[in-house]
Every structure is written in C-alpha cells, then in structure tokens.
Amino acid sequence: MAEYQTHEFDVLVVGAGGAGLRAAIEASAAGVKVGVVTKSLLGKAHTVMAEGGMAAAMGNVDERDNWRVHFADTMRGGQYLNNWRMAELHAKEAPARVNELEAWGAMFDRTKDGRILQRNFGGHRYPRLAHVGDRTGLEMIRTLQDHGIHHGIEFHMECTLLTLLKDGNRCVGGFGYDRERGRFRLFHAKAVVLATGGIGRAYQITSNSWEYTGDGLSMAYHAGAALMDMEFVQFHPTGMIWPPSVKGLLVTEGVRGEGGVLRNSEGKRFLFDDIPENYRSSTADNEDEGWRYTQGDKSARRPPELLTRDHVARCIRREVKAGRGSPHGGVFLDISWIKEKLPNAAEHIKKKLPSMYQQFKQLADIDITKEPMEIGPTTHYMMGGIMVDADSQMSSVPGLFAAGECGAGLHGANRLGGNSLSDLLVFGKRAGEFAAKYAQENSAGPIDMAQVDEAARKALEPFDRGAAGENPFTVQSELQETMQELVGIVRREDEMRRALEVIAALKARAAKAGITGNREYNNGWHTALDLDNLLTVSEIVALAGLERRESRGGHFRDDYPDKDPKFGEFNIRIDKAADGRPKVTHVPVRPMPDELKQVIEENK
C-alpha cells in the first residue's frame, strides 16, 4: 500500500473564494482545526474578479429598502423556484455580513454622509449593492484573507482535490495532489465544506476563470450527494465580443446601473419594446425616467436595461438574429452618452467604472467615455449545484457541506446580480458554523485506503498512455463547442439529445486521455484530470434541460417558449443511481409560510 502525505483537520474547506474563506473563518472561530485547499494561489480565486458589488438591503441610499423587498426581488428574479428559506435568510442576514466585512477592514465607497454607498443593479428595486468601484471582489478577498490569516487556518495552495472519501454514507475527507510537484495529498477530516464555484469552463464563451471546471459538483455527485436546478445556467447579457482573444470577458452590470444603455445597429433602445408583464409596473416607460432612476430620483422607475439578466440576454440575441446587431455579432452598450447629461461625464465614468475603462482601453482600444462598447451574452453563473439544507448548508451526504456558487437553492431559475457575493458571506458563514458543530459532535471516521489507492491509480493512468492517448485539450474544446452550440442560451430537445450523444462519445475518449512529460506543473495532466468533472456536469445540465419542458429564468426552450405553471411546482434533482447513471427526479416546491407570501404580495 502506498504512503501519502496526510493532513488531519476537523473541518476541511475546499476553495478559497469568498464562500470558502468565510466558512473557514467561522469554523475556526468555533475553535476547531481548519484546513483550506485551493486550486489557485491564495488571493486568486474567481471571487477576486467580481466587480459590481454585493446586495444587502441596508437602505443607505434609499430608506424604503429592507429585507422584505430584497426577499421579494430575489424570489421574483428566481421565478419562485428558489428555496424560500434560503432567500429569507439571505435577505435578513446580508446587511450584518456586509457590516462585519467593513469592521474587518473593507473600504467600501461612501455616501456623502459617510455610510456604505449602494448602487443600482438589475432586478433590485432599490440601490442595494455595496461596492468598491468595480473591484468589489478584490476587496472582499483581501479583507477575508487578512482576517482569516489571524485565525491559524492552514492553507494548501495550488492543490487540487480529486475525490471525496467516504466511510459508509458519511464524508470523511478528500484526496488530491499539489499542482506544483504533482505529489498526492490525503486530507482526513470530520467535516468537509465544498466552496469550489461553478462550471463556466464547460462552455466556449464564458466570463469564468480557469478554475470553473465543476469539480465540487462532480465530486459531490459521485460521492452520493444530490444536485439540483442544473438546467439553470446564467448567460450574462454583457460580455466583451471583440477582439476574439477576450471574447466572453465580463462587462459589469454596473455600467447599466450608472446609466449605460443598450442600442441596436439602428441606434434604437430595443429593450423598451419588450418589458415582461411582471416587471411592467416597476419599469420606466420612457428614456428620461430611466435616466432619472439611475441618478437616484426616487420617484422614477428602473430603465429596462436593468431588467433581469435572462431577459436582457435573450433580447440581445433576438436583435442579432434579426440582423440588427453590431459588426461583431453583439449590440452596443453606451455609457459615453451621459455627457449629454453630466458636465464632467468622462471623469465620472473613470471614477465609477475604473476597471471597465482600463479593460476596454487596453484590450480593445476603445475609450468608453467617448464611444460605445460592443457586447454580447457570455456564460456567467451556475444557479444549480449541490442540494443543501437551507439553515446548515449540509448536503444529502452527512458531513459534507456546500456554500457559494457550487451550492443550489438561493437563486432558483435566475440569480440577481450582486446576490452572489452576499450569498458567499451569508451561507459561507453558516456552512462554517454548522461544519464546525458537526465536527465537534462526531469523531473522525476511518479512511478506506482502497478508495485512496484507486483514486491515485486512476489519476496516473494518462501517463501510462502517453502520446498514444487522446489529447485532453481536444476533448475539452470539443465539449465546450458542444455545450455552447447545443445546450446554450436557447435550447431544443433534438439539440440536447445530440449533445448527450456527443458527451457520451467524449467520455469514452476522455477515459483514454494520454499525456507526456512528468508530474510537475503539467498542464496536460491537469486538463486530463478536470475532464471527468466537466463531462459529468455537462451531461447533467443537458439532462435537466431536457426534463424542463418550458422556458423559465436562465433556461429557454425554443420548442417550449412559454412558462408552464406545472413546472413551477418542482425543482429537478439529479442523483447518481446504483447503476452509476444519473437519475432524474422532481422535488416539490415546499409551501411558503403565509408571512412570506404576504411579503411577496406587498411587493408586487
């Protein structure tokens, strides 16, 4: 039997983004021994890219805001498939989490009277996003790291977890390798928190970082945890589309929050033509009202550019298909027009959107203070993920918790911008708290070395096949193309069935992936190991997409273009069945308490 470098923890946190760091801080504050493993360097997790801000009903800019409005906005945005208990906890607890982050040193932008400034974002009735210019994720990560460092948390950077280890039904740790030297690591823990983020790298055009290969979802699924809402992938309406090297890079919704407008090639603000019925009463019906809203006029309603992301993305696609797109296949996003309204517009834009200004100047040679940007939809966020208990964040596997983008429930069919960063804080904290409690109440379970040896053997197989094996990069890129074309922003039964056939063939090829070189920083090896995760989650997205025969939120079916009330009564759950294949079931939406129903009614 091989020997492996072994680490013992009470709580093992997988991921050092906002959710992982917040969970680690909370668990460690409870007095247990905490370890964090992260695929990238500390400070580089995907959260660092977050731009626009974190949603919390603090009412600093508009005193009419409170948890009830935030709850109702989140549920409406998620088309009522959200776990209402999570939406309730999130709306109630987010302000405290943001204030806590400030107390730990986060330097938020300020109102004139010194409170945390809040900005407008799509689907939020009032200005609600606490932010630091358009670099909010960076400040969140910096603050959590600074705070966490004093908690004695043990960090294992550039270390990839390959599999979870089980003792019977319970999770007792994980097995992985360090990316630098390629050596295996065994992590023995009483509780494990997955905070591994999303799956965007299953698609060709994405705003997501290289880490987003769906590892946490796939590991949890193979370990017996249920996945939920996997058909709901968010395509953000505004990604860069030109030059090709930066296709997919995000253009923050903050641009529209600051007054940016969307126009087609005829110069028309096309979103005014298509306002969904359930948002009509809260949406401006003329351009002047929309502008006044972005400037803080409380009597004005939001411009249609700030409708939910699923809707805006589909309207953009429609304009392009109708031949009214921009030269490179998107539409125009213009913030420079505000010079008609503000004397110091250029300075204002640079101050409010410094990263966007730099991003377009350096990557596309566009000065956004003078000319419009060309944008189009990009794969951005996974609403679905590991099914968890709302209060504790424990999955259906005892001892296994999940928080952040890899968890499911809060966002339902569509996430509102800004609701992710606050999700990380609220449910990261809860996952850390309950994982620590679980670790305190349970002794460490035994490690089954046969599971570990099998994982090590499997991981090294690509070396045995060498150059004669399948090229992992080719398999990965064919998968990304398939998902983009066949399970993308608009879906159809025949296309998703075709995608499933391609995925099955790619699975067979991935099982024969071969690589050359040695184990040190071998990118081919890393890609070969990621493939199983990408293929697992892609298959599940397509299966869930087939099952939902209606259009709702992030899931749009060309063959079922309308919402069907029948499908509003359940979430789609997928488990690994005894025969190793995915099993699809329906989970009825739990009845909402009357008090929360009342809150939704009040805020219609």
Ligand X SMILES: Cc1cc2nc3c(=O)[nH]c(=O)nc-3n(C[C@H](O)[C@H](O)[C@H](O)COP(=O)(O)OP(=O)(O)OC[C@H]3O[C@@H](n4cnc5c(N)ncnc54)[C@H](O)[C@@H]3O)c2cc1C
Active site residues: 236, 256
Long-range contacts of 100-107 (CB under 8 A, 24+ apart): 100/425, 101/140, 101/143, 101/144, 101/425, 104/143, 104/144, 104/146, 104/147, 105/143, 105/146, 105/147, 106/132, 106/139, 106/140, 106/142, 106/143, 107/132, 107/139
> Which spans in 380-514 are helix H?
419-441, 449-465, 472-486, 493-510
Segment (H or E) for 320: helix 309-321
By beta-carbon proximity to ligand X, the closer residue of 284 and 373 is 373
Task: For residue 399, give the nearest of 191, 193, 219 by alpha carbon.
Answer: 191
CA separation, residue 186 to residues 17, 173, 442, 449, 510 (Å) = 22, 8, 20, 10, 25
Nearer of residues 47 and 264 to ligand X, judged by Cβ: 47
- Determine the interface stretch with ligand X among 43-51, 297-305, 484-492, 503-511 (rule: CB under 6 A): 43-51
Q: Is 397 near ligand X (CB under 6 A)?
A: no
Give the nearest distance from C-beta 332 to ligand X in angstroms: 20
Across the strands, what pairs with 36?
13, 155
Other Cβ atoms within 10 Å of 287 Cβ, number: 13
Q: Is 496 or 534 the residue whose CB approaches ligand X more closely?
A: 534
Binder of ligand X out of 71, 232, 381, 434 (CB under 6 A): 381
Question: How many other C-beta atoms can be found within 10 angstroms of the C-beta atom of residue 324?
Answer: 15
For the CB of residue 493, give the shortest distance to ligand X in the complex, in Å: 30
CB of 184 to ligand X, least distance (A): 13
Does residue 46 bind ligand X (CB under 6 A)? yes
161 binds ligand X (CB under 6 A): yes
Cα 567 versus chain centre, distance: 23
User: Binder to ligand X among 38, 79, 234, 538 (CB under 6 A)?
Assistant: 38
Judged by CB under 6 A, does residue 416 bind ligand X?
no
Q: Figure out which of the listed residues 65, 229, 305, 405 binds ligand X, where binding follows CB under 6 A.
A: 405
Phi-psi region for residue 152, left (φ > 0), alpha (ψ -120 to 50) or beta? left
Q: Which of 418, 472, 524, 553 binds ligand X (CB under 6 A)?
A: 418
- Give Cα 482 distance to the centre of its chain: 21
Which of left, alpha, beta for 385 (phi over 0: left; psi -120 to 50: alpha)? left
> CB of residue 460 vs ligand X: minimum separation in angstroms?
17
Q: Which range touches ligand X (CB under 6 A), out of 9-17, 284-292, 322-330, 569-577? A: 9-17
Q: Between 172 and 211, how does the x/- string for binding to ligand X read (CB under 6 A)?
A: ----x------------------xxx---------xx--x
Near ligand X in 419-478, by CB under 6 A: 419-421, 424
Of 207 and 308, the one with the shorter C-beta distance to ligand X is 207
Which residues bind to ligand X, rule: CB under 6 A? Answer: 14-20, 37-40, 45-47, 49-54, 136-137, 160-161, 176, 195-197, 207-208, 211, 215-216, 250, 381, 404-405, 417-421, 424
